Chains A and B, each alone.
Chain A
C-alpha cells in the first residue's frame, strides 16, 4: 500500500455503509455530497458521464457484425403427431392398453355376449 501524503483537499471521511451503497448505486451526486466526500462523489460521477463520441464511434462495425453474424432463431415446425396404424378401435374394434386390461372381452374378438352366457343359467 503506497504511503499517501496528506491532502491539500483534506482527509477522506469514513464512508458508512449507506454512503458506500449510495455512491455505488449512483444515488449520491456531487451536489448532495458532504464536503469531505465531494472528491469521491465527483470521481464516481465522472465514471458515469454520458458517452463520448469516441466511445460510440464503433457503431458501423457493430452493425456490420450484426448483419454478418446474426441468425434468426429457427423455430421448429409444429410436429404432426406420428402417423398411427389405422385403429381397429372403431365401433366393434379392438381395445388396447388399459381398456383391454379392464375389459378383456373387448380385447379379443370374442362375440358379446359369449355363448355360455346365452345358455345361462344352465338347464338342470
Chain B
C-alpha cells in the first residue's frame, strides 16, 4: 500500500464524523491525509497553480463536508473528483486569459516572493518522477497519478475520468511502460 494512500484506515469513520460535526482537529487529519497526494496530482495537472487550486479544492470540500457519505476510498474519490474539475477549470481559464511568458516581463516585474525559496524541492526523486510523469500523454499521466498517488482502484479512476475500466488499464499500462523508458534513460 502506498504511504500516501488510506493512511487514516480504520479510524476514518470517526474522524469524518467528527469533522462533520465541527471538529477542526479532525478536519486537519483529513487535510494532512489528502493534501500531499492532492499537491502531487495538481503539480502535474496545473503545474503553475497547484497550491492555489488545492486551496480552492479544500474550500469546496469544507462546503460539502456535512453532506458527504462514504468510506475512505469514496472520500478520496470525492476529493480527486473536485480536484480534477478545479484543474480543468483552471486550464480553461488560462486558455481564455493566457499569461504573458515570464521572459516577456520587464525584469523589475518578475515575481519575487518570499515563497520562492520555499519552492525549493524537498524531495528530488519525487519531483523528478513527477516531471517524468508530466511528460507522458495527459491521460496516461492522470491515470497513473490517480492510481499511485491518490491510491484509487481502476474502477474508481474510470468513473472519475469518465472512461471505461478497460481504457484506464490500457492507459496505465502504456503510461507505465513509457515512464519506465524515461526513467531508465534519464536515470531518474
| Stretch from B96-104, B106-114, B125-133 at the A interface | B125-133
Q: B31 touches which one: A11, A25, A44, A59 (CB < 8 A)?
A: A59
Given contacts A12-B181, A51-B36, A62-B31, contact A43 B129 (CB under 8 A): yes
**Is B79 close to A, CB under 8 A?**
no
**Contact of B173 with A62 in the complex, beta carbons under 8 Å:** no
CA distance A122 to B182 in the complex (A): 110
Q: B65 touches which one: A27, A44, A55, A70 (CB < 8 A)?
A: A70
CA distance A104 to B150 in the complex (A): 69
**Contact of A40 with B130 in the complex, beta carbons under 8 Å:** no
**By the criterion of a CB under 8 Å from any partner CB, how many residues of chain A are at the interface?**
48
Closest Cβ of chain A to B29, distance in Å, is 11
**Contact of A26 with B58 in the complex, beta carbons under 8 Å:** no
The B contact surface, by secondary structure, is helix
**Contact of A26 with B151 in the complex, beta carbons under 8 Å:** yes
| Stretch from A2-10, A80-88, A111-119 at the B interface | A2-10
**Is A54 close to B, CB under 8 A?**
yes
**Is A52 close to B, CB under 8 A?**
yes
CA distance A38 to B4 in the complex (A): 20
9 closest A-B pairs by beta carbon, nearest first, are: A48-B2, A52-B122, A51-B36, A26-B2, A46-B125, A73-B66, A40-B180, A12-B180, A24-B147
